[in-house]
Amino acid sequence: MPYSAVRERAATDSSAVAGSGRLAAGGPASRVTRTLDLAVLAGLALFAAWTAAYLLALAGAIPAAWAFWGWVALVPVVVIAVRRSLAPTLAASPVAGPWVPLAVSALLAGLAAVIVRPDLDDASYVVRTTWIAAHGDVRVGDVIFSGGQWPGLPAQTPYLPSIEALLGWVSRVTGLSVGDVAYVLLPPLATAGAVWALWMLLRAWRVRRPAVGLLLATLFIVLGGATHASWGNLHLARMWQGKVLFLAIVVPLLYAACAWLWAARAGRERRAAIAVVGLASVAAVGLTPAAVFVVPGVVLAGSVPGALRRRWADVGLLLAIGAGPALAAGVVMLVAGGTGRGGFVPNAAGEDPWEKVLGTGLPAVVALAAAVVVVAGCLLPERWATCAPGARWTALAAVAAGLLIAVPALYDLAGTVMGTDAIAWRLTWIVPVPALVALLGGVPGLVKGGVVAVGAAAALLVGGLPLWSPLNGATVAAPGTWELPAGPLAAARWAAAEASGERVLAPVDVIAALGVVQPDARPVSSRGEYLEVYADRPGAQVATRLLLQRLVEGGTDPADLARAPEALTTLDVGVVCHRTGLVELATVLEGQGMEVGYTGTDDLVCRVRAA
């Protein structure tokens, strides 16, 4: 079908946003919308500026303190520049009533403040934040075992993400604990921003009935607890992690900026849209290594409307500005860093990426139905047009990318290129699944659209699992609670007070919490994949460490138990925390003169070496 047959509608065409409610340009609701749009873009620009400053410090060009305080001094400059430079492109985007997205933002921010869903990735990421908060230096390698004396993990060297350093410096200069900054303050604020970023995308795509679409997308997110890697668990349930901020905020803004580019009528609007794409790409590098392969895929899908119009100069500029920073980061990691030595996570051969992120229940069926509607919208534009033509082709390109990912041979090839298939499933992030689900709310026709929207909502309500469900490994706690299990956190605090520079042996969940509360903790081990990469390092004693970790995690191998006394002495272990049911290990520890000093919840006891 020729693209001219489905040419982009004018921004002033009210049918492009049917059912959304056009607002007076100078009305209060319009001003609220534009103010929040600019606030989100200002946050994006500020983080991109911080990432640039951080990379200078990481390269040794400036001290870390100069990077942070210089960035602070630039905050008002960046905010003013965003208001003056990016407002034109926002002016071309439709304005819909802000009250539904504001209510959804408040609701999800509130949920982010009370849902506690611990994640063991914090044993690496938040531990780094704690170390930087205490020491200030961002040019540090391993902060888990050696206090920066060993190189960093291969797949994290050089450590290009800047989010942990920013949170660490905020903690350092404010006096707030890292746990309060990362677990209490950030998630509600970032969750509200993520909801508004999705709202900006729905408006940029000129989705019919965008408020209905946003509500469907919200159901898809908050009822996404059935799989660990769902769009819900990688949203408000874990909004303190860089990769989650990237997926929930930056990816929607990238797609929105691409739509602004193709809808722009003036050169100034086009330049502003390209600027947002560039800022989003730089910010993505500062959030996660996954940006290296996700961002190019997003901008490639977002360039399809321009390619169909044969606007090759704009397409080339979009790809260069959008994919350039991410690809450059990949080159740096491959050439100058340790990525070429292999990943630090085990391969996950044979997994289905879409089953991993969607599961096999009704939410997966809803996502599949959204993909069908996208395809139908391009083949039958008059009957199934849920959004503007350019958005339909972008969505179709994203769906096509998702289909390619589902081909086993291509997925295996992607894992080979990336060095490990354990993170290849993140290629699914190229597909903006919540936005596609929102398109189900825009099917034209009162009866047809109502049936589709109600059916999708019913499927999600019946087949979804709330993020706060214990089956999702989550609990609901009072605002201000850290995103760590209460029992291990209490044990970690006791161990941090008692260790006095001695090594601590404990289950991984306790060790993860220990690294958050004590920047100079000396754990025997942590997650096995973190330690195993140092097996060839002289003096690392990795085999001895892993032996003790196996025992404290519940192992009962007689050979390990027989060697445990010597291992405890060799590693100078001063504090041991373990579950009460480990009778054989308790006997060994008592024989070494280690006395119980703490008894807490989760059946945890901690022992300290007798004076």
Residue ending a domain, among 470, 495, 514, is 470
407 exposure class (CB count in 10 Å sphere: 0-12, 13-18, 19+): exposed
pLDDT for 383 beyond 80: no
Tell me, what's the pLDDT at 350?
A: 57
Tell me, what's the pLDDT at 20?
A: 42
pLDDT for 527 beyond 90: no
CB 326 within 8 A of CB 94: no
My answer on whether 342 and 290 are in the same domain is: yes
> 54: which 2 tokens?
């951080």
Q: Is 112 within a domain? A: yes
581 exposure class (CB count in 10 Å sphere: 0-12, 13-18, 19+): exposed
10 secondary structure, DSSP code:
P
Q: Is 251 within a domain? A: yes
Q: Helix, strand, coil: what percent of the chain each, to 5? A: 65, 5, 30
602 exposure class (CB count in 10 Å sphere: 0-12, 13-18, 19+): middle
Residue ending a domain, among 402, 435, 470, is 470
My answer on whether 453 and 508 are in the same domain is: no
Cα distances (Å, whole numbers) of residue 161 to 164, 332, 352, 496, 507: 7, 13, 28, 28, 28
Q: Is 477 within a domain? A: no
Q: Is 476 within a domain? A: no
Cα distances (Å, whole numbers) of residue 280 to 45, 73, 481, 611: 8, 21, 31, 56
3-state secondary structure 505-534: ECCHHHHHHHHHHCCCCCECCCCHHHHHCC
The sign of the dihedral angle between the CA atoms of 238, 240, 245, 249 is positive
Average pLDDT over residues 227-247: 95
My answer on whether 446 and 542 are in the same domain is: no
My answer on whether 154 and 43 are in the same domain is: yes
Of the chain, the percentage scoring pLDDT greater than 70 comes to 92
pLDDT tens track for 302-348? 999 999 999 999 999 999 999 999 999 988 888 876 544 444 444 44
My answer on whether 507 and 360 are in the same domain is: no
| Range of 12-16, 63-67, 440-444 with top mean pLDDT | 63-67
User: How many structural domains is the chain composed of?
Assistant: 2
Average pLDDT over residues 477-490: 94
Q: Is 138 within a domain? A: yes
The sign of the dihedral angle between the CA atoms of 118, 147, 65, 334 is negative
CB 119 within 8 A of CB 242: no
Q: Which of 203, 195, 191, 194 is nearest to 97 (CA)?
A: 203
Average pLDDT over residues 348-361: 81
Average pLDDT over residues 65-86: 93
My answer on whether 382 and 527 are in the same domain is: no
Tell me, what's the pLDDT at 41?
A: 95
Strands 503-505 vs 573-579: parallel, antiparallel or unpaired: parallel
* Tokens 């350019």 -> residue: 390
Q: Which of 179, 184, 203, 244 is nearest to 89 (CA)?
A: 203
My answer on whether 541 and 462 are in the same domain is: no
For residue 600, give the CATH number of its domain: 3.40.50
pLDDT for 9 beyond 80: no
> 249: which 2 tokens?
């905020």
More confident site: 488 or 411: 488
Q: How far apart are CA 580 and CA 95, in angstroms?
A: 59
More confident site: 92 or 462: 462
My answer on whether 423 and 507 are in the same domain is: no
Which domain covers residue 344, as residue numbers? 19-470
pLDDT for 267 beyond 90: no
Q: Is 2 within a domain? A: no
**Buried residues in 330-351 as b, exposed as e (16+ CB within 10 A):** bebbeeebbbeeebbeeeeeee
pTM above 0.85, yes or no: yes
pLDDT for 492 beyond 50: yes
Q: How far apart are CA 136 and CA 153, in angstroms?
A: 20
Average pLDDT over residues 386-407: 92
Tell me, what's the pLDDT at 155?
A: 75
Q: How far apart are CA 156 and CA 135, in angstroms?
A: 20
Up-side HSE of residue 528: CA atoms within 13 Å toward CB? 10
pLDDT for 13 beyond 60: no
More confident site: 195 or 360: 195
Lowest mean pLDDT among 7-21, 28-42, 308-322: 7-21
Q: Provide the Cα torsion 284, 286, 290, 293; round to 10°.
A: 50
Average pLDDT over residues 67-96: 86
Q: How far apart are CA 30 and CA 97, in angstroms?
A: 7
pLDDT for 106 beyond 90: yes
Q: Is 3 within a domain? A: no
Tell me, what's the pLDDT at 204?
A: 94
Written as one letter, the residue type at 549 is Q
Strands 475-476 vs 503-505: parallel, antiparallel or unpaired: unpaired
My answer on whether 36 and 127 are in the same domain is: yes
My answer on whether 409 and 506 are in the same domain is: no
Lowest mean pLDDT among 58-67, 140-149, 185-194, 419-428: 419-428
Q: Is 10 within a domain? A: no
My answer on whether 67 and 141 are in the same domain is: yes
pLDDT for 489 beyond 90: yes
My answer on whether 491 and 457 are in the same domain is: no
Tell me, what's the pLDDT at 21?
A: 42
